[in-house]
Amino acid sequence: MASDVRLLAGPFDPGAQLSAFTRSQPYAGGVVSFLGQVRSGGGVEALELRHFEPLTLPGMKDLAAQALARWSLDGLLALHRIGLLHPGDPIVLVATAARHRRDAFAAAEFVMDHLKSESWFWKRERAGGAWRWIEPRAVDFADLARWEKSAVD
């Protein structure tokens, strides 16, 4: 079980990252990935992600360790951008590799649900020349709460 968890101040190539991760997992029967990107439309001009440096990367690594302990994974990749991004830019890439697909799917969802609702990032969006802070929605907290219902899913 290996994890590659990184916080990135610059752009990354999701295809190249996923390809390298997949190649490093020869025993996995399945690789599941999620790519989050800045939405186009709705007048969105930019997205800024700020973070609290002493907690962000250690928190992400702890989250990866929780997923590795909870599911039978061969590997986990979690990349997250910080700084100023524009529509179409990748924000986050989470990939999990496992011998069986259910473990890979569940672990990827677990990591994303925690990053979305319980992370160490603050997001603000610029539209129409004005900035506004983005808060997690009720559905994000509901997604997170489902992982507390049982120790093993």
Give the tens place of pLDDT for each residue, 47-80.
Answer: 999 999 899 999 999 999 999 999 999 999 999 9
* Mean pLDDT score across all residues of the chain: 92
Evaluate whether residue 88 is within a structural domain.
Answer: yes
pLDDT at 141: 78
Per-residue confidence (pLDDT) for residue 66, from 0 to 100: 95
Does residue 60 lie in a domain region?
A: yes
CA distances from 104 to 62, 111, 147 (A): 18, 11, 15
- CATH number, domain containing residue 48: 3.90.1170.40
| pTM of this structure | 0.91
Q: Classify residue 17: in a domain, yes or no.
A: yes
Domain region containing 74: 2-148
Into how many domains does the chain fold? 1
Is 153 part of a structural domain of the chain?
A: no
Nearest Cα neighbor of 113 from 149, 75, 89 is 149
The Cα-based distances of 72 to 100, 107, 108, 138 in angstroms read 8, 9, 12, 30
